[in-house]
Structure 1
């Protein structure tokens, strides 16, 4: 396969980029059947290692990039649009979401079979040759579930969108670069996506409140592509799209429970679970001056009990953007020194991990043991 067929800065191969697209497509198809490539979309391929070693959220972005190459004029919406805008989400989108204004086009379409006509032996050898994706603190061997593609869901514009089509803020779509997928650069690929205000008004009322709050925490704290701290006034022009009573209740509840101080998905989830379990709602991002003169900003703080809560996601100890040039052991040591400093101030410290944030009984017991007060 010619390197000229690969866009230099991202891992996808596009048959349509070749001068002889038919010959390129045939060559790529043979490579898929032999287990040397995977087919993400018609005419768009990827090296198996790049796919298998990517975590689920990066696979979704890679599938979105493949959709952009296969159908350049498509407009991204819903949860996929949130991902393109760089907004944190609690769950990986289950499909690449595209907007349609034609009822007959709406619905979900399965992804092409990533391995083409490759037989069981070829697929087994392909899986055996990969170290697999990083999932939490441990790597695991990949299995056939990792070769499931990301489907496409075409979402019909709502009646409210249709009625407001001429009055919606302009532009109806914006062009922005895709976020990078882990170590893979995608940002040279621009994509058509609905504006964030429209995406929020169209998506949040359909989400569970917890998922919606995680999204709002992200945009209110500036943790998205623009870095702007979104306010209710920023999305007010789009609120007429929220018409159902159920959607309006979820919209209002999510805004009321969101917090512009939240700095991670795990922190947001922990705070919400704490509230749902009937414990006192903590303050977020409170600063303390430690005995050595340094300042420590903590994730959660129960002032009435003098208890600090810290969420420890695995990202803190693995991502280069967090580690910088430091070794993991240095980060762990610094966290220990920081915690000792907080305890020296007479504060209690409770640390939470993903398993506890996601498991009600584990979190309840941790809160009780730490002495967190009831609401």
Structure 2
């Protein structure tokens, strides 16, 4: 994400020659945005951030207002650690050492954790649970379909942060006696399903939804060739159904690491040519995007394309909820 914008704390307003009424006026005019009580940021800068970047800034704003050192956890820790999660409107989440059921106050959700054995790291000046504890907490307390993206991510090398890939053994070793028996089962089920071959959070979420909906398991990153040579690698492939599935995320056409020197328009043309070559092999191609994942359109598209099912459709929305 871009550099964290400078935060303006109301307690420091005198340093900028501002009076309380002036802060309110600037917020009303859109020149400032109040990120949380007593914390402001430049309005145009805020509006130029992606939702997940705004979330990261809210975490920073919370840390600026806490009197005591605070350990951020779950989605907040994942945000700081650069681990992708599903969804855009998560509360700021932190740990509490008081076993009183947790509490939410001033826009921050608190979750109990014992200090013993808790692995904490400092990232960009913030205290967060380490990678293993973060993804295990997510797998324990969020729906299965949303827990897969963070797990898939840590099973791959993090090239941006230059972090090694974790193994499933690493993850399973972190469960210990921290979680309830039911939470432990949820975590182990998610770890077993996780796969580093998923190329993005969107692909991970797709794969989990495909599984819950009862479709046959696809092959990931399948290589296709024709008489002219290599066609490319597909996100999903169902050999028996002769169907290829492609997730169209924003990164495929915007991020430099995916464009590989091409412009966005060149990438779109190249993708269409690749699809035509795959179709020429007698393979059906079905594509979907984030909007399809947020609704039931993915399931409808796969069914219409003829993707086989290992069982009849389960109650997909119930299956996403932790037991």
TM-score, length of structure 2 as denominator length: 0.82
Distance 1:10 1:365 in 2: 40
For the pair 1:354 / 2:306, whether they are aligned, the reply is no
C-alpha separation between the residues in 2 aligned to 1:173 and 1:210? 26
What are the residue-to-residue correspondences of 1:58-69 with 2, within 5 Å?
Answer: 58-69=53-64
Structure 1 residues 278 and 201 mapped into 2: Cα distance closer, same or farther (>3 Å)? closer
> Counterparts of 1:243 and 1:104 in 2: how far apart (Å)?
16
Mapped to 2, the partners of 1:67 and 1:105 lie a distance apart of 21
2:5 to 4, 11, 29: 11
Q: Deviations over 1:247-300 (max 9, x none)?
A: 022112111222121112221222222222222110111222344334511101
* C-alpha distance in 2 between matches for 1:308 and 1:205: 32
Q: Residues 13-69 of structure 1, C-alpha deviation per residue, up to 9 Å, x if partnerless?
A: 334896955955746455335542122235432112222333321210111122233
Q: Is this contact kept in 2: 1:219–1:230, CA < 8 A?
A: yes
Q: Choose from 95, 108, 121 the match for 1:174.
A: 121
Contact conserved, 1:79 with 1:93, CA < 8 A, in 2? no
1:1-375 equivalences under 5 Å are 10-15=4-9, 21=15, 23=17, 26=20, 28=23, 31-32=26-27, 34-71=29-66, 73-92=69-88, 94-102=90-98, 106-110=102-106, 151-157=107-113, 161-162=114-115, 165=116, 168=117, 172-177=119-124, 190-222=125-157, 225-319=161-255, 322-323=258-259, 326-360=262-296, 362-375=297-310
2: CA distance, partners of 1:336 / 1:227: 34
- Answer whether contact 2:11 2:38 (CA < 8 A) is retained: no
Alpha carbons of structure 1 residues 95 and 34: separation in structure 2 relative to 1, 3 Å: same
With over 3 angstroms needed to count, the CA separation of the structure-2 counterparts of 1:17 and 1:345, relative to structure 1, is farther
CA contact (8 A) 1:266 1:354 kept: yes
Tell me how far apart the structure 1 counterparts of residues 150 and 81 of structure 2 sit (CA, whole Å): 11
CA spacing shift, 1:345–1:58, aligned 2, 3 Å: same
Q: What is the alpha-carbon distance in structure 2 between the residues aligned to residue 176 and residue 263 of structure 1?
A: 25
Contact 2:231 2:278 in 1 (8 A): no
Q: Secondary structure at the match of 1:87?
A: coil
Query: Separation in 2 of the partners of 1:9 and 1:197?
Result: 26
* Distance of aligned partners of 1:74 and 1:28 in 2 relative to their CA distance in 1, 3 Å threshold: farther
Report the 3-state secondary structure (helix = DSSP H, G, I; strand = E; otherwise coil) of the residue aligned with 1:230: coil
Displacement of 1:341 = 2.1
TM-score between both structures, scaled by the size of structure 1: 0.72
Give distance in 2, aligned partners of 1:238 and 1:352: 35
Alignment RMSD (CA, Å):
3.0
Gaps of 5+ in 1: 1-7, 111-150, 178-189
C-alpha spacing 1:303/1:321, structure 2 compared with 1 (3 Å): same
1:324 and 1:48, CA in 2 relative to 1: closer, same or farther beyond 3 A?
Answer: farther
